[in-house]
Amino acid sequence: MGTGELDPWGTSSVKDYTRLRTEFGIDPVAPLLSRFKKLSPHLSRGIDFGQRDLGRVLDAIEKNNPFAVMSGIKPTGDFHLGTKMTADDMIYFQSLSKKTTVYYAIADIEAYADNGLSFEETSKIATRNVADILALGLDPDRTVVYFQSEEVKVMRLGTVFSRGVTNNMLRAIYGERQIGLYMSALYQAGDILMPQLPELGGPKPVLVPVGADQDPHIRLARDLAGRYKDEYGFIPPSSIYHRLMLSLGGSDKMSKRSSSTLLTLEDQPKDATKKIMSAFTGGRDTVEEQKRIGGRPEVCPVYDLYRFHFARNDEHVKQVFYECSKGVRLCGECKQEAAGLVKSWLDDHHKRRDSLMGDARELLAKSRDFLSSAGK
């Protein structure tokens, strides 16, 4: 790489990711990369770093066997860049085989319970969210979208699981938490395992793309798959983990809690520009110092914008990384460039999304018919 220990695909918390592997048994993605015919930006840039049983999904792809990809969203109005990362993975894996079905859960009951949003509001937001994922490239012909509040199959599984888990098992995975969190975890396990129900074609590999912080849900679903194997024939679900972006404030992950440091797909381009121009960076105290010793892209949320979403290609990411590290790229111009990329991406995305609202409604109606008649 020519720069010693510098690694454009690394992050400051790479130690934590190593811990995930040793402590939780999440395996690295790297050894499996040669089995992919084409790499997504998440794979080629080391953003997807870990997996459980991804090999089982690759087997299905290679043998042209059916498998499912499962993901979802809480429709509270913020389709943010973290949500986009999960959606990008989902869409990428759907594209790898004609035998994939995507299951996409809209957590409207949680939106009601946690955010006080009415079902009318969430239904409106959810339709736009579905248009968002269509605009990102989802193939509606192999997708089933459903509202939690309508899908009794998930409720049923969650209830069955609640009779089969021990409180100690939930405490071991989540710590001592309110019953509401436990319940919602059990319903999520229902979401993850539903695609394997007999009325939906029976046991099959299911891939769940998630942020690294969501692994407890995967562990629970895999544990339950084992406990209910005799009854349902469940295959333990597979997972792939992406790194978490830095918030524009520079700390933690990008989250819904702080809107000034969070980019969402709802942002107007000019608001996005404002947020980016006032973002924390990995720059030095003075221009002089930065020119002399270089910036620190590995702690820079603006660099993350390039790497995770908006760079033209892998070469472009590398270019930003090395120019910054060597002090030839300064923060002002770098932010300008990023803001320009984000603006044109958002303009483009909004246009596409708005033109897909009808398709989103159609997909929701088609999915509802499919699920209510499944197995009848």
Task: Name the residues that contact its own copies, by CB under 8 A.
Answer: 109-110, 112-114, 149-150, 152, 155-156, 159-160, 162-167, 170, 176, 178-180, 182-184, 186
**Residue showing tokens 């989250």:** 255
* Closer residue to its own copies (CB): 160 or 330: 160
* Closer residue to its own copies (CB): 160 or 277: 160
CB of 166 to its own copies, least distance (A): 7
CB of 233 to its own copies, least distance (A): 16
* Closer residue to its own copies (CB): 13 or 123: 123
* Closer residue to its own copies (CB): 49 or 187: 187
* Closer residue to its own copies (CB): 162 or 319: 162
CB of 158 to its own copies, least distance (A): 8
CB of 208 to its own copies, least distance (A): 22
Which positions ≥6 away from 107 have C-beta within 8 Å? 72, 73, 74, 75, 148
**Taking Cα atoms as reference points, which of 209, 218, 205 lies closest to residue 49?**
209
CB of 46 to its own copies, least distance (A): 37
Q: How many CB atoms are closer than 10 A to CB 361?
A: 13
CB of 110 to its own copies, least distance (A): 7
CB of 226 to its own copies, least distance (A): 18
* Closer residue to its own copies (CB): 62 or 114: 114
Backbone dihedral angles phi then psi of residue 253, each to the nearest 5 degrees = -100, 160
**Taking Cα atoms as reference points, which of 376, 74, 65, 364 lies closest to residue 197?**
376
* Closer residue to its own copies (CB): 4 or 175: 175
**Residue showing tokens 């918030």:** 247
Q: What does the DSSP assignment read for 58-113?
A: HHHHHHT--EEEEEEE--SS--BHHHHHHHHHHHHHHHT-TTEEEEEEE-HHHHHH
- What is the C-alpha separation between 264 and 275, in angstroms, rounded? 11
- What is the C-alpha separation between 14 and 28, in angstroms, rounded? 12
DSSP state of 261: G
CB of 332 to its own copies, least distance (A): 45
* Closer residue to its own copies (CB): 34 or 166: 166
Burial of 277 (0-12, 13-18, 19+ CB in 10 A): middle
CB of 179 to its own copies, least distance (A): 5
Residues 254 and 280 sit within 8 Å (Cβ to Cβ): no
User: Which amino acid appears at position 134 of this protein?
Assistant: L
* Closer residue to its own copies (CB): 286 or 373: 373
CA 83 to each of CA 38, 77, 167, 209, 264: distance values in angstroms, whole numbers, following the listed order: 23, 12, 30, 11, 9
